[in-house]
Amino acid sequence: MAFSSVRFGYVPLWADDPVYINERAREEEADMPMCRCSNCAPEAAEVLVECLLCANVDNFDDIMNDSFTRPWNYDISSKYPSKVSAPRKRKFKEEDTEELEDFAMMLVTDLHHYYDTEVSPGGVLLPSFLFGKDDCDAILASLEHINEIGDLRGVIGGECFIGQYEWLFNFKWIINYKANELAGRPAPAQPTHVTKKARSWTSPSTPKDKTKATDI
């Protein structure tokens, strides 16, 4: 319909536009089917929108042909996206500041060196624009849940340069850091078995403060 035509240099917006009137007359003369867009059939468009909740492949043609009866109570729970529980991130406290600083310093230094020497030596884009402390904090907070390369996407987003995920996970960092962190942890303390001493038993008939019996 002429409402969506730009061949005249503009899109007609009103039904009294000469271009729209001429196009409508041409289509009627050519016995073209009546336009059923939301401009030409607003009532039908409203019905379609109301039926979209229960629309599927089997009944969509009936909805378009106005032969579908919408149920009053329709369960749309099947259309809801499945809920995926987000992994629990580590919450940092004030005493974790030193660990955060050390982790960020090591990771940023190594990744920036790799970028400057292997990815883009002498490039105009500095590695600090691509990866910084916020990314390091996000990785450390989700470190326990990063078990494959794909897990990094949900933590730091897409790659800033080709091979970033590969370097972070396989070549250098996360696998080695996890191994070193695990090796550096102290062994769990073994439970100490305390031997209980037997209680001394005193006969109820003999009070503790009773002295030797005296002869009468």
**What are the DSSP calls for 54-123, one per residue?**
G--TTTHHHHHTT-----SS---GGGSPPP-PPPPPPPP-GGGHHHHHHHHHHHHHHHHHHIIIII-TT-
Would you give per-residue pLDDT tens digits along the chain (216 residues)?
A: 555 556 666 777 777 888 888 888 888 888 888 777 777 788 888 888 888 878 888 888 888 888 887 776 666 676 677 776 666 666 767 777 888 888 888 888 888 998 999 898 988 888 888 888 888 888 888 888 888 888 888 888 888 888 888 888 876 678 777 777 644 444 434 444 434 444 454 444 444 444 444 444
Query: How far from 124 is each of 43, 116, 117, 185, CA to CA, in Å?
Result: 58, 10, 13, 41
Same domain, yes or no: 68 and 117: no
Q: Is residue 39 part of a domain?
A: yes
Amino acid, single-letter form, for residue 120: S
Closest to 165 in 3D by CA, of 135, 141, 137 = 135
Q: What is the pLDDT of residue 76?
A: 65
Number of H helices, E strands in the chain: 8, 0
- CB atoms < 10 A from the CB of 168, how many? 26
Give Cα 85 distance to the centre of its chain.
9
Report the alpha-carbon distance of residue 165 to residue 159 in Å, rounded: 7
DSSP state letter for 15: T
The reply to whether 196 falls in a domain is no
For residues 98 and 179, state if they share a domain.
Answer: yes
- 26 & 103 share domain: no
| Domain ranges, residue 53 | 2-79
Query: Of 79, 109, 143, which residue sits at a domain end?
Result: 79
Number of domains in the chain: 2
> Model's pTM, two decimal places?
0.44
**In the listed set 17, 46, 79, which residue is the last one of a domain according to the structure?**
79
Could you tell me if 66 and 22 lie in one domain? Answer: yes
In a domain, 202, yes or no: no
Domain final residue, candidates 49, 79, 109: 79
What does the block give as tokens for 10? 């503009």
63 shares a domain with 112: no
User: Is 210 part of a structural domain of the chain?
Assistant: no
The residue behind tokens 């439970």 is 191
Pair 59, 117 in one domain:
no
Residue 87: inside a domain, yes or no? no
Residue 51 belongs to some domain of the structure: yes
Are residues 116 and 45 located together in one domain of the fold?
no
Same domain, 49 and 129: no
**Helix, strand or coil for residue 48?**
helix
75 and 104 together in one domain: no
Q: Is residue 201 part of a domain?
A: no
Do 75 and 101 fall within a single domain? Answer: no
> What pLDDT is attached to residue 84?
65
DSSP type of residue 32: P
Instruction: Tell me whether residue 193 is in a domain.
Output: no
Positive or negative torsion for Cα 113, 118, 121, 126:
negative
